[in-house]
């Protein structure tokens, strides 16, 4: 992965057209963790809700990539808004050398902007699943009073959250701020759009949204079809190896 240093800015949140965070807003983000669930969920929410792009994040280690989506140039770290929801869509992980600063500044902006709550979306290894529940949650102490509306079990002791999501939860806990990590069980080693769809269905239910998950389910079917095909080919290859 290649990166480029910008001029001495360190970290900067650039908001467009005088955008201000609405009173009582909810901040939502997810990173490229297990199953890509956090990123897939957040990015799909912005598309399904037709959220408006309202800002960007610039860092010293900005990824050397841009792309096109719906005939629009998209950048590595973008901020979107829909009604009382604000989304951070990180198309790449923050560079390892600046992850702490990146998360620290995001947490600082969240607190300064007086978000009502923070939702951080991610995946949990499906091999740890022991019941019929599709999700686990990791609340900060300040979020405990809001937890009932989710009806999701808390992550078992002995299991860990890792990466930028863990860092941001830790920063919110230290600031005594209401944040919730939402984790859906996902397949390790590949993107898991079905897990992201499960995440969005829960968010739809709790907030009364209508973000379609059909595209995610279609993507999941295609990935699962290709996975079955790959395993079938590997199985046939192993059978052939048995004969001379």
| 40 to 115, 120, 174, 192: CA distances (angstroms) | 23, 12, 28, 8
Q: Indicate the range of 109-118, 149-158, 228-237 predicted with least confidence.
A: 228-237
- Spell out the alpha helix ranges (H) of the chain: 37-48, 99-113, 163-174, 193-207, 214-240
- Considering the segment(s) 10-237 as one domain, its CATH architecture is 3-Layer(aba) Sandwich (3.40)
How far apart CA 99 and CA 105 sit, in angstroms, is 10
The whole-chain average pLDDT of the chain stands at 87
pLDDT digit string (tens) for 25-39?
Answer: 999 999 988 988 999
- pLDDT-derived band at 242, boundaries 50, 70, 90: very low
Looking at residues 161-165, what average pLDDT do you find? Answer: 93
Which is it for strands 117-125 and 26-30: parallel, antiparallel or unpaired? Answer: parallel
- pLDDT-derived band at 244, boundaries 50, 70, 90: very low
- pLDDT-derived band at 214, boundaries 50, 70, 90: confident
Does 152 score more than 80 pLDDT?
yes
- Domain residue spans of the chain: 10-237
Among positive and negative, which fits the CA dihedral 32, 113, 60, 43?
positive
Tell me the three state secondary structure of residue 223: helix
Task: Classify residue 172 by its DSSP letter.
Answer: H
- pLDDT-derived band at 230, boundaries 50, 70, 90: low
Tell me the three state secondary structure of residue 98: helix
Rounded to two decimals, what is the model's pTM?
Answer: 0.87
CB 197 within 8 A of CB 213: yes
Predicted confidence at residue 7, as pLDDT, reads 41
Predicted confidence at residue 233, as pLDDT, reads 63
Does 223 score more than 90 pLDDT?
no
Predicted confidence at residue 234, as pLDDT, reads 61
């Amino acid at each position: 992965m290649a990166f480029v240093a910008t001029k001495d800015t360190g970290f900067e949140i650039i908001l467009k057209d005088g955008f201000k965070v609405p009173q009582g807003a909810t901040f939502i983000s997810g990173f490229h963790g297990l199953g890509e669930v956090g990123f897939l969920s957040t990015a799909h929410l912005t598309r399904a809700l037709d959220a408006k792009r309202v800002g960007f994040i610039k860092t010293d280690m900005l990824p050397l990539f841009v792309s096109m989506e719906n005939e629009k140039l998209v950048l590595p770290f973008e901020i979107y808004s829909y009604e009382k929801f604000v989304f951070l869509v990180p198309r790449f992980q923050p560079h390892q050398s600046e992850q702490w600063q990146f998360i620290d500044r995001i947490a600082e902006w969240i607190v300064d902007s007086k978000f009502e709550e923070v939702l951080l979306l991610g995946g949990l290894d499906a091999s740890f699943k022991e019941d019929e529940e599709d999700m686990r949650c990791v609340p900060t102490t300040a979020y405990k009073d809001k937890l009932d509306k989710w009806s999701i079990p808390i992550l078992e002791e002995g299991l860990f959250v890792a990466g930028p999501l863990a860092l941001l939860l830790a920063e919110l806990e230290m600031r005594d701020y209401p944040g919730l990590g939402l984790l859906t069980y996902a397949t390790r080693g590949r993107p898991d759009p079905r897990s992201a769809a499960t995440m969005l269905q829960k968010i739809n239910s709790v907030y009364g949204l209508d973000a379609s998950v059909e595209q995610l389910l279609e993507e999941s079917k295609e990935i699962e079809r290709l996975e079955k095909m790959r395993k079938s080919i590997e199985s046939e290859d192993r059978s052939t190896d048995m004969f001379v």
